[in-house]
C-alpha cells in the first residue's frame, strides 16, 4: 500500500505526517512534469484527499480532493467521561475576543448554496534539493482550484498548476548560487533523466476529473458531504460534543490532549475548506475561543502578505498522555484569520524541533502552507475538461 492509498483508507484523527505530505506531493509533481506515455495501462484505483488543515497538511492534489464515498452523519454522542480542560489552559481573553469578533462577522455572510463549491488556494511545501555537500531547500508552490460536486451525478474537477519554486532562505540562496543557479531541480536525484523536475518557473495547468459522486470533507473522525457539513450543530457546545463523539468512535482511548488536537484539525478543515453555513463557521470560531491549549501569536502576515491574527497549537510534541504521530519532531500549526471580516486567510506548519527525516529543516521554518484565495458557491459547470486526466492515473516509469 502506498502513501495515497493509505491516506484514503486511514480516516485519520489528525492530518498526515509531514513526511507523507512531502512524499505525496513529490509523486504528484513527478506525474505532472514527466507526462504519461500513450498506451500505458491504468493503475489501480487511487482515492485522495486534502487535510485542511494541517494543515498541512499539507500534498497538493493528493491531499486536497475529497473523492471518497459518502460517510453517514453520526448521531450526537455527547462528551462521555473526557474533560478537555486537561489538555491545557483556555485561550487568553484577547484571543477569545478576536475569535468571537470573527464569529460575529461571519454570521453576516449570505448563506448561499449551489451546484458546486469552488475552492481556490495556493499551497507551498519545503523541498530538499542539491547534491551531497551542497544540499539546500526550495519552497515549491502550486495553484489549485477544486470544483467540489454536491450532487451524486456530478463529477468533482481539480485544476492544478505548478507555480514555481525558489530558494527558501538567504542560506539556501547562497547554496543555490554555489550550485550554478539552476532553473530546475530533479525530483529524484538518483534518477534525474526520467523523474521530471521542480522548475523555478510556472508550469501548465493539469486537470483531473473524479467519478460521479458527491464530494466529501474530513470533519472529526469521518467524511461528510456538503449537505451534512451544513447541518452540523451551530451551537459551539453541541459542536464540540459532536466532534468528541465522532473522534472517539474511531479511537475510544483518545486523551484530552489528543481530542483537543483533533478538534483543532477539524476546525482547520471546517473553516478553510468545507462549505459550512455562516452559522456553522461562526460556531467553529466560538469553539476555538474556548479550546484548551490554543495560543495567541498576535498580528502576522500570511504567506501572501495579507495582515491577520494567528493562533496555534503545537503538535507531535513529546508530552505525557500524547502519542507522537511520527519521529519528525514537534511542529506548530498556525491558523491566520482576519478578525475584522471573519475570513480565514491561511494555515501553515512550522517545524519547531526538527528530528529524524526532518532534521534538514531549520528550526522554526515554514514546512508547508495553504493560502485561501477564494471560496464560493456556483450553479455554473466547471470549465472545459477536454483532455483531463481521470481520477485513476498511472505514474510514469522511474529508474
Task: Give the count of beta carbons closer than 10 Å to the beta carbon of residue 148.
Answer: 26
Position of cell 526550495?
138
Asked whether the predicted pLDDT for residue 76 surpasses 90, the reply is no
SS3 at position 286: helix
Task: Kindly report the pTM of this predicted structure.
Answer: 0.77
Phi and psi torsions of 139, nearest 5°: -100, 110
Per residue in 110-148, pLDDT (tens digit) is: 777 899 999 999 999 999 999 889 999 999 999 999 999
The DSSP element (H or E) to which 94 belongs, if any, is: helix 93-107
Cα 238–chain centre separation: 25
Question: 344-373, pLDDT tens digit by residue?
Answer: 999 999 988 888 888 899 999 999 999 999
Higher pLDDT: 109 or 369? It is: 369
pLDDT beyond 60 at 302: yes
Q: Is residue 108 very low, low, confident or very high in pLDDT (cuts 50, 70, 90)?
A: confident
CA distance linking residue 122 with residue 361, whole number of Å: 21
Amino acid at each position: 500500500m502506498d502513501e495515497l492509498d493509505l491516506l484514503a483508507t486511514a480516516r485519520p484523527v489528525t492530518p498526515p505526517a509531514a513526511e507523507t505530505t512531502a512524499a505525496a506531493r513529490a509523486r504528484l509533481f513527478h506525474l505532472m512534469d514527466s507526462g504519461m506515455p500513450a498506451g500505458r495501462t491504468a493503475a489501480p484505483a487511487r482515492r485522495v484527499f486534502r487535510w485542511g488543515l494541517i494543515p498541512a497538511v499539507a500534498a497538493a492534489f493528493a491531499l486536497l480532493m475529497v473523492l471518497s464515498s459518502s460517510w453517514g452523519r453520526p448521531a450526537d454522542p455527547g462528551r462521555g467521561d473526557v474533560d478537555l480542560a486537561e489538555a491545557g489552559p483556555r485561550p487568553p481573553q484577547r484571543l477569545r475576543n478576536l475569535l468571537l469578533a470573527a464569529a460575529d462577522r461571519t454570521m453576516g455572510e449570505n448563506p448561499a448554496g449551489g451546484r458546486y463549491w469552488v475552492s481556490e488556494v495556493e499551497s507551498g511545501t519545503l523541498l530538499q534539493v542539491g547534491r551531497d555537500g551542497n544540499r539546500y531547500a526550495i519552497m515549491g508552490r502550486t495553484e489549485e482550484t477544486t470544483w467540489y460536486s454536491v450532487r451524486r451525478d456530478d463529477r468533482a474537477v481539480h485544476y492544478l498548476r505548478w507555480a514555481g519554486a525558489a530558494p527558501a532562505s538567504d542560506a539556501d540562496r547562497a547554496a543555490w548560487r554555489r550550485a550554478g543557479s539552476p532553473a530546475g531541480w530533479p525530483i529524484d536525484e538518483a534518477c534525474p533523466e526520467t523523474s521530471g523536475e521542480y522548475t523555478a518557473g510556472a508550469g501548465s495547468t493539469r486537470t483531473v476529473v473524479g467519478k460521479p459522486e458527491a464530494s466529501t470533507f474530513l470533519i472529526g473522525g469521518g467524511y461528510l458531504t456538503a449537505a451534512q457539513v451544513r447541518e452540523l450543530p451551530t451551537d459551539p457546545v453541541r459542536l464540540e460534543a459532536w466532534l468528541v463523539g465522532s473522534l472517539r468512535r474511531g479511537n475510544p482511548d483518545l486523551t484530552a490532549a489528543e481530542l483537543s488536537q483533533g478538534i483543532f484539525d477539524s476546525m482547520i478543515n471546517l473553516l478553510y475548506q468545507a462549505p459550512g453555513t455562516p452559522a456553522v463557521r461562526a460556531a467553529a470560531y466560538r469553539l476555538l475561543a474556548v479550546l484548551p491549549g490554543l495560543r495567541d501569536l498576535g498580528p502576522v502576515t500570511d504567506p501572501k502578505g495579507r495582515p491577520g491574527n494567528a493562533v496555534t497549537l503545537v503538535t507531535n510534541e513529546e508530552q505525557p498522555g500524547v502519542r507522537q504521530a511520527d519521529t519528525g519532531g514537534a511542529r506548530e500549526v498556525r491558523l491566520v484569520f482576519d478578525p475584522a471580516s471573519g475570513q480565514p486567510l491561511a494555515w501553515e506548519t512550522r517545524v519547531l524541533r526538527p528530528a529524524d527525516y526532518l532534521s534538514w529543516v531549520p528550526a522554526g521554518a515554514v514546512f508547508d502552507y495553504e493560502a485561501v484565495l477564494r471560496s464560493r458557491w456556483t450553479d455554473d459547470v466547471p470549465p472545459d475538461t477536454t483532455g483531463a486526466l481521470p481520477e485513476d492515473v498511472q505514474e510514469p516509469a522511474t529508474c
